[in-house]
Chains A and B, each alone.
Chain A
């Protein structure tokens, strides 16, 4: 029913490499903020943050060794956050389109 995951011990080197990757991404996102990318600044910032999140989750939180259920729970949480934000934006971004005041 479930895979036993607690016997998998990652090497210290793995963690060091992930850590260095996280630092590098932090430097990159800070530097990129000073470059004019127009509307893509937000995209870049969020993309880099998402990469950092995945590194922390997969390696530091051991999701890459975890059960399918754990991954489903994590994915479900992110999906629900997306529903909250995007369905609400569906209202805010389509206001005024019809040309009737208050709609």
Chain B
């Protein structure tokens, strides 16, 4: 029952009004929402490019756009989705909002740097947006040299500057999270009582801090090469284009772990709440996050298997790539074991969690396919790879992101979303996703190259299936947009703990007050302690 007193309660949303109170906020919760709005815009921008790509691929001869334009479409789809949606997504929205609350803190260690991080993302995004509107960039999101440095006539520098600036947004967020977790935990919140979502974001922050600067310096070198023709990546001048690839992938492989680790953190939370059970093997899951962060830095050469990288380096990177799959697998086993003899609820967040576990497993296993040198020679630069990473990024990360958004929506907004519509859209997304991307595994294996818009007619059926799936997926993504906004005004008012979940964030009202806790909590319980709450009803719908 929501009392009248609670309805007039001051929380972080209504304690101040006006645009300045948002644009100059130091509150991690408001900054999380600023990020939510920004990355949603970029998600739809990237989605628009994806739509054009899939429409173009309906017919073997293309015809909707020229080859040059098609190159720009897939480049800008990748740039928008990776740098301006996926990399910030979970850490900057859900992480910003909940990491301080989960550890019992009033805010992050450096609130003003947190706000700066958001502004950097916006400014970087504006540079990239300018490049897209002014004519686009056509190098692929991977910017391989010497095409990007010498031959491309598109807006390479503007895009690269945008990514450079957004990179600093990522670095500062990572720095903030690391210091916060080390120095701002409430009394009694030991490392091994931390929610696994915190562990995941901490491991992610380590990657952000250690990897992103290398991307930054690589962009500086591309800039110098493009402007001054210094020869550093140009074979005609004594340089090596593969050096660019080493530098680029040193960041961009760990970047995929920046994208997936926080998602895994969300899944740990969801699987636990909606089975009413401790996460099985908590320590294993926590250490696996750290292992993924470390090992993820040792495998980048698997993107260079066919590039004239030496055979011996290829073998080393292949072996290490198999090795890095192990901690991910450990997590999947532990989530599954958590479900065993749990009291399972099929609320929307749990549906997304189930979807994640299945789709991430497929994505991860196909990663092992491409990690094998022999198979990779056959499938590299084909749709097999495209399908592999979309299973992880979309079937994995985006599903977890949506699951987390639904799970924490009541806490962030004080409103419940409509459960029936939410379950329906989860189903639509799951079906649409698989129809879009499963055919791409087959396409790739049969030889359909990526980044081509003309293809032999025998591939058309699979492409049409994929495009049909993309239409369904688009509908699935639009539905939450609509009902989340609807819920802000018409959704049922949410209690403090609608799911009966453990965790400090659920001990505050929904939405929380400005400083999160009236008194700094003292932690005495282990994480995911459901022993005392068996039988409590979960509020659904």
Contacts and interface: CB of A to CB of B under 8 A. Distances in A.
Q: Do A and B bind each other?
A: yes
Interface of A: 69, 76-77, 80, 83-84, 87-88, 90-92, 94-98, 100, 102-103
A51 to B, nearest CB: 25
A87 B310 contact: no
25 contacts: A69-B182, A80-B210, A80-B297, A83-B297, A83-B298, A84-B214, A84-B250, A87-B298, A87-B301, A88-B243, A88-B246, A88-B250, A90-B310, A90-B312, A91-B242, A91-B246, A91-B304, A91-B309, A94-B310, A97-B311, A97-B312, A98-B311, A98-B312, A100-B311, A103-B308
Contact of B310 (A69, A84, A103): A103
If over half of B's interface residues share one DSSP class (helix, strand or loop), that class is named, otherwise mixed; here it is helix
A3 B142 CA distance: 45
Given A84-B214, A84-B250, A90 B316 contact: yes
Nearest to A96: B310
B41 interface: no
B293 to A, nearest CB: 11
Contacts of A98: 310-312
B313 interface: yes
Interface size class of B (residues with CB under 8 A): 10 to 19
B298 A91 contact: no
Nearest to B242: A91
B539 to A, nearest CB: 38
Contacts of A103: 308, 310-311
A103 B304 CA distance: 11
Interface in B205-251: 210, 214, 242-243, 246, 250
Contact of A95 (B214, B301, B310): B310
B301 A91 contact: yes
A80 B242 CA distance: 20
Contacts of A83: 297-298
Interface in B280-304: 297-298, 301, 304
Interface in B330-380: none
A91 B309 CA distance: 6
A95 B246 CA distance: 14
Given A69-B182, A83-B297, A87-B301, A94 B246 contact: no
A69 B182 CA distance: 9
Contacts of B309: 91, 95
A97 B250 contact: no
Contacts of A102: 308
Contacts of B214: 84
Given A80-B210, A84-B214, A90-B316, 18 more contacts: A69-B182, A77-B210, A83-B298, A87-B298, A87-B316, A88-B246, A88-B250, A91-B242, A91-B313, A92-B310, A95-B310, A96-B310, A97-B310, A97-B311, A100-B311, A103-B308, A103-B310, A103-B311
Contacts of B312: 90, 94, 97-98
B477 to A, nearest CB: 37
Contacts of A88: 243, 246, 250
Given A69-B182, A80-B297, A90 B210 contact: no
Nearest to A77: B210
Contacts of B316: 87, 90
A100 B310 CA distance: 10
A77 to B, nearest CB: 8
Contacts of A77: 210
B424 to A, nearest CB: 46
Contacts of B243: 88
Contacts of A100: 311
Contacts of B313: 90-91, 94
B301 to A, nearest CB: 7
Nearest to A91: B313
A80 B214 CA distance: 11
